Amino acid sequence: MATSKRPPDDDSKLPTYKLVVIGEGGVGKSSLTIQFFQKHFVDYYDPTIEDQYIIHAEVDGQWVIMDVLDTAGQEEFSAMREQYMRNGRGFLLVYSVTDVRSFEEAPKLFDQVLRVKDKTEYPVLLVANKIDLVSQRKVTEQQGRELADRLKVPYIETSAKDPPVNVDAAFHELVRIVKSFPSDEDNDTVSPFRIFVLILPKKICLVLGYTIVCHFLHLFF
C-alpha cells in the first residue's frame, strides 16, 4: 500500500528524533541543514546563532518528526556543547574536506559525545562535507573512511551546493542509525505542548509549511 505524501494529523503518534549537527566552525553545518529543510544553498551563515528546525519527514515509508539543532561551531561557544549533546539522540559529525583542522577535531567531538552520554557507542554519522571543492580538497575519502572505521561509525560524503549530493541521504541515514540503537531517553513522541514550550522562549520563529525554524541567541533563559 502506498504511503501518504502528507503527514498524519495527530503528531502525538509520530516518533520524534532529536538530531544535532556538530562540527567545527565553517564546515558547512548550516548549509547542509538549510539545504535539507529549505532546499536551497547558502554560502555564508552567522556562526554565532544556533537554529532549530522541526519537520515532518518520510523515512523508509514511515512518517517521523525530525527535531534538528544546527549548532554554532566556533570555539568561543564550546561551553554550549554539553548542553545540546545531552539532549541529542543522534549526531551528524561534520568536517570539511578542505579543512584538515576540522577533520582532526572530529574525533574530539565524538569522544565528547560519548563522555556526555556516558556510553561506549552512540548514534553518530561522520559527514565529509564540501566534496564539490575538488581542487581545494585536503582530506581524502580514504582518510575519512579510516577515521569512520576507527570511531566505528558510518561515513558519508556530501555537498550542500546545488545540485546537492547526499544531503537528504545523510539526515535519513542518521534516523536509521538512531532507530537501530536502543532508546535510553523518553523522546520517541512529541506533543503539541512540548513543541509550544520549546518555541516560546526563542527570539525568532518562522513557520514554513510543515517546518518550524527558530533562531537561538547564545543566552541561558
Classify residue 144: in a domain, yes or no.
yes
Number of neighbouring beta carbons within 10 Å of residue 205: 13
CA–CA dist 144, 134 (Å, integer): 15
Classify residue 2: in a domain, yes or no.
no
**3-state SS, residue 55:** strand
Q: What is the CATH number of the domain that holds 60?
A: 3.40.50.300
Q: What is the mean pLDDT of the chain?
A: 82
Classify residue 35: in a domain, yes or no.
yes
Classify residue 54: in a domain, yes or no.
yes
Domain count, the chain: 1
- Over residues 66-94, the pLDDT tens digits come to 999 998 665 556 667 788 899 999 999 99
Classify residue 8: in a domain, yes or no.
no
Classify residue 141: in a domain, yes or no.
yes
Closest alpha carbon to 77 in 69, 68, 67: 69
- Can you give the residue range of the structural domain that contains 76? 20-192+201-216
Question: What are the cell numbers at 191?
Answer: 506533543
Classify residue 209: in a domain, yes or no.
yes
Q: Order of strands across the sheet with 90-96?
A: 155-157, 124-129, 90-96, 16-22, 62-70, 50-59, 211-216, 204-208
Distances (CA, A) of 171 to 77, 80, 136, 217: 24, 22, 25, 24
- Over residues 135-178, the pLDDT tens digits come to 999 999 999 999 999 999 999 999 999 999 999 999 999 999 99
